Every structure is written in structure tokens, then in C-alpha cells.
């Protein structure tokens, strides 16, 4: 079977969603996509369909991976008609009925990415070849996401990215078989800069500590570009190994550098450890250049805030979603997750749950598990009811565009989970960019047969 081209839709829908226009009704596809079991890899043969959940169960992002897996299991429960249905009740598309996917009960297999691209590829490859997974999803590292996305493109399987924030995933390394719901580094920089300027002024000198892989690079670049545009100066940018656990030697030079802001382009356990070192060195009480020294964490999560404890108080960052949102979709998800696990979900859990439902919905609307039919159903898809307001899956790069949250560590938390407060909901229009700016070629869909 020859490779199929996804359709290409224009950029006009981005501005429509960003401006709050009404969503179009979900499209359903012609019977040509409802092609039974022919012509694509791992076409389900019985009354079940297998999804592959590839998450970091070890390594620096293991806490995120554990919450991702909880969300995936909840999504499967809801798809199969269990529980209260969660966001299936608030999702603007009504294609999902709790009858599995296309009438097939959803089963799943899991793997450990170890937060290492090679291990993640090996795990995904095993799920595709040995377990017959029709879709792979997961990851809490952009290096992992890019590697697994490329593997899925080669194999002919849809990849629904989990937590991946680097511009590269839907930028220079984008693939036709890959889709990302999570926001990216550019969006963090665009949302954060105005808040940082208002809070700390435009005459600041920043020192960046950056995780030494693609996520760290693009996040540093995004924050540098956006803050330098408003007058900040970058005095140093130092790379730190992803496996680093002790950051004292990296933090020690900061106060002698002339900087008055430390930007921690770290995530998960890396951020907890580097922030702890910064506090131990007295940066939170220090003064530099006649100003109070400040720390910024561009990408936040509740799990990171919990790990860092009181050290996060007052520190700004951005996040894809937060459990305190009051829209109906967020409330439904928090209720379902909380009743099942006893605590609120993280942003990692949210994006993974949503990606699973979006995949299932696309299959229902397309009438097939063929990745090319599912891809066509996702491209240009506008939806609501799943947190973050009206959302667009842009056709040109398979990136979702939605509102972005700027948060800061809460000064007086009411519980162990109430650690971040939302200080700004940045409209999607403010973080939207031209699809061509990061380069790369989307290519064509590969059905794998």
C-alpha cells in the first residue's frame, strides 16, 4: 500500500479558535476509511485493541511517569464504559460512547522509557512488534518523544505524545504520524515574559542553568529571546547533564556572575535538586545589582512543586494545565482522578488522558484504526471541554493551540496539593506562531503496510 498524504488545511482556524469563535461540529468521514482490517500495521483482528503506554518508570522523571500511567489507566476505564466517564461527558465531540474504540474493548501494555531515548525506542518497538500496539503514547522527556515519534513514523503507527515541551517535537523533528497536545517552549516564553517584566522590571541580568538535551535548549532559547526582547541581558548559560543530581557546583558561581535572576531550565527531579541548591546558597535572600535576586522556573508541575516544598513560594513559571481550573472538563477529570487515586492529577496526567481520548475519538469519527484516517481526523480538529478552553490541533505541524497558564508557588498553601496559583491565563492568540518558524518537514502518513 502506498503512503497516504494527510489533507492540509489553512492557518485561518488558529485565529478563529484563539479569538473564541464557536467550534465547528466534529467531522465524520466517508465509508472509504471504514476499511475493516486491511492495509495498515497491527490492524485489530479480534474484539480488542491494544494501546502502548511508554512512560518513565525510572530515572529523573519517574514521578511524572507514574502519574501519566494513572491517567492512561483511567482513560481506558472510561473508554470501556467504566467509572463516571470523566471528560467524555464534557468533550465537545460526542463520538465516544463507552463502548471501547470502534466497538473493541481497549487493552494496553506498558513500557519503561527510563528517560533515555534508546530505552524508549526499544520499549516502543517491542510493544509494536510483540504486543501488536496500534498506537504508542507517553514520555516525559522531549528527547524520548522525538526518538519514539521517529520510530512510530518508520513503523507506521500513530504517536500521541505525552509530556514533551521542546519546540523540536512539532518543529524541526515533526512527523506526520505524530501529534502533540502539550504546549511548548515558545509558548512558555511568550506567556512568561510579560509577567516577569511587570513583576521584576525590564532591566535584569539572567543566568541560565539548562538541561543538556533538546528540551533544555529550546526552553532556554525561548526564555532568552522573549526576555531579551523586553530588555533583559543574558550573562551566562550553562548546560547541566540530565542525570545530574547534585547542582552545588553549578549554582555556586551564580552570585559572582553579575546576574540578578537565575532561570532553571530543568524539569522533574532535576528542578527539585537545582532549586534546593539555589536556596541553600542563599539566592532567595540575596541582592544583586541593587535588586532582590529572583529565580524563574519556565516549566512547572504540581509534582515538582511538591518535591521542592517551600522553596517554590513566589517563583513564577508556566504550566499546560492545573487541577484548580474551574471549567467543566477540568472539574470532571479532577473528580474522576481524585476518586480513583486519592489526590489531584498533574499536568502530565491531564495531557496523557486527553491524548488517549483524542485518539479514540479520531478513530470513531474516521471509522478506522488506519493511522492515515486517524491523522486526517485530527488535523485541523477544533474541540472544547477538555480543559484550557477551545483548542485547535493545527494541521501544518500537529501542534495543539490553547490557553497557557502562568503560575507561581503559593505563599500560603491550604494543603499539600495546593502549591501553585494561577496568576495569568494567556490567550491562545498570544502564544500562536507561524508553523514554519522551527523548520522541519511534516512528511506524509505511513500506514505501515
Read off the pLDDT of residues 387-435 as tens digits, 9 standing for 90 and up.
999 999 999 999 999 999 999 999 999 998 999 999 999 999 999 999 9
Q: What is the CATH number of the domain that holds 387?
A: 3.40.50.2300
C-alpha cell at 172: 524541526
Confidence of residue 303 (pLDDT cuts 50, 70, 90): confident
- Measured from the Cβ of residue 290, the count of other Cβ atoms closer than 10 Å reads 7
d(Cα 154, Cα 87) in Å, to the nearest integer? 32
Q: At what angle do helices 185-200 and 214-228 cross, to 10 degrees?
A: 40
Average pLDDT in the 275-290 region?
A: 96
Last residue of a domain, one of 269, 303, 319: 319
Q: Which of 402, 423, 440 is the last residue of a domain?
A: 402
Q: What local confidence, expressed as pLDDT, does residue 16 receive? A: 38
Of the residues 278, 300, 319, the one at which a domain ends: 319
For residue 366, give its domain range. 48-183+323-402
What is the percentage of the chain residues whose pLDDT exceeds 90? Answer: 86
Name the domain count of the chain. 2
Among 76, 84, 3, residue whose Cα is nearest residue 40: 3
Within a domain: residue 255? yes
Q: What is the mean pLDDT of residues 43-67?
A: 94
Other beta carbons within 10 angstroms of residue 198's beta carbon come to: 10
pLDDT for residue 229 is more than 60: yes
* pLDDT tier for residue 340 given thresholds of 50, 70 and 90: very high
Grid cell locating 102:
470502534
Q: Is the dihedral of CA 118, 121, 125, 131 positive or negative?
A: positive
Give residue 159's pLDDT band: very low, low, confident or very high (50, 70, 90).
Answer: very high
Higher pLDDT, residue 279 or 60? 279
Q: Is the pLDDT of residue 30 over 60?
A: no
* Entry pTM: 0.91
Is there a single domain that holds both residue 149 and residue 232?
Answer: no
pLDDT-derived band of residue 38, with 50, 70 and 90 as boundaries? Answer: low
Of 42, 149, 168, 40, the closest CA to residue 446 belongs to 40
280 phi/psi in degrees, rounded to 5: -60, -30
Q: What is the mean pLDDT of residues 360-375?
A: 98
| Separation of alpha carbons 449 and 3, rounded Å | 9
Do 198 and 295 fall into the same domain? yes
Does a structural domain hold residue 37? no
Whether 414 is in a domain gets the answer: no
Between 439 and 3, the more confident residue is 439
* Assigned domain for 286 exists: yes
Amino acid at each position: 500500500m502506498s503512503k497516504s498524504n494527510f489533507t492540509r488545511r489553512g492557518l485561518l482556524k488558529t485565529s478563529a479558535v484563539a479569538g473564541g469563535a464557536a467550534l465547528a461540529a466534529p467531522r465524520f468521514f466517508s465509508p472509504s476509511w471504514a476499511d475493516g482490517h486491511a492495509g495498515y500495521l497491527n490492524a485489530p483482528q479480534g474484539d480488542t485493541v491494544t494501546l502502548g503506554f511508554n512512560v518513565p518508570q525510572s530515572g529523573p522523571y519517574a514521578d511524572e511517569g507514574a502519574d501519566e500511567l494513572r491517567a492512561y489507566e483511567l482513560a481506558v476505564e472510561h473508554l470501556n464504559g467504566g467509572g463516571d466517564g470523566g471528560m467524555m461527558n464534557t468533550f465537545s465531540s460526542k463520538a465516544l460512547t463507552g463502548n471501547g474504540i470502534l466497538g473493541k474493548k481497549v487493552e494496553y501494555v506498558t513500557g519503561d522509557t527510563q528517560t533515555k531515548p534508546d530505552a524508549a525506542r526499544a520499549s516502543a518497538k517491542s510493544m509494536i512488534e510483540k504486543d501488536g500496539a496500534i498506537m504508542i503514547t507517553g514520555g516525559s522527556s522531549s528527547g524520548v518523544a522525538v526518538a519514539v515519534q521517529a520510530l512510530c513514523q518508520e513503523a507506521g503507527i500513530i504517536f500521541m505524545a505525552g509530556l514533551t515541551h521542546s519546540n523540536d517535537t512539532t518543529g524541526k523533528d515533526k512527523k506526520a504520524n505524530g501529534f502533540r497536545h502539550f504546549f511548548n517552549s515558545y509558548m512558555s516564553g511568550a506567556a512568561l515574559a510579560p509577567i516577569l517584566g511587570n513583576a521584576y522590571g525590564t532591566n535584569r541580568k539572567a543566568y541560565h542553568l539548562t538541561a543538556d538535551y533538546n528540551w533544555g535548549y529550546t526552553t532556554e532559547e525561548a526564555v532568552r529571546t522573549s526576555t531579551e526582547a523586553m530588555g533583559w541581558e543574558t550573562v551566562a548559560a550553562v548546560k547541566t547533564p540530565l542525570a545530574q543530581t547534585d547542582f552545588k557546583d553549578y549554582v555556586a558561581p551564580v552570585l559572582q556572575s553579575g546576574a540578578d535572576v537565575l532561570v532553571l531550565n530543568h524539569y522533574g527531579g532535576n528542578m527539585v535538586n537545582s532549586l534546593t541548591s539555589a536556596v541553600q546558597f542563599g539566592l532567595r535572600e540575596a541582592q544583586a545589582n541593587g535588586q532582590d535576586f529572583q529565580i524563574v522556573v519556565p516549566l512547572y508541575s504540581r509534582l515538582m512543586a511538591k518535591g521542592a516544598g517551600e522553596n517554590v513560594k513566589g517563583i513564577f513559571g508556566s504550566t499546560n494545565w492545573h487541577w484548580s481550573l474551574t471549567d467543566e472538563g477540568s472539574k470532571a477529570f479532577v473528580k474522576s482522578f481524585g476518586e480513583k487515586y486519592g489526590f489531584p492529577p498533574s499536568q502530565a496526567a491531564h495531557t496523557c488522558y486527553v491524548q488517549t481520548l483524542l485518539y479514540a475519538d479520531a478513530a470513531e469519527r474516521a471509522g478506522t484504526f488506519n493511522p492515515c484516517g486517524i491523522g486526517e481526523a485530527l488535523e485541523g480538529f477544533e474541540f472544547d471541554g477538555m480543559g484550557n478552553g477551545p483548542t485547535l490541533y493545527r494541521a501544518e505541524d500537529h501542534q495543539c493551540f490553547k490557553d497557557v497558564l502562568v503560575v507561581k508557588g503559593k505563599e500560603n498553601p491550604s494543603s499539600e496539593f495546593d502549591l501553585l496559583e494561577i496568576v495569568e491565563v494567556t490567550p491562545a492568540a498570544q502564544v500562536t506562531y507561524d508553523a514554519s518558524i522551527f523548520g522541519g518537514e511534516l512528511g506524509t502518513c505511513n500506514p505501515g503496510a
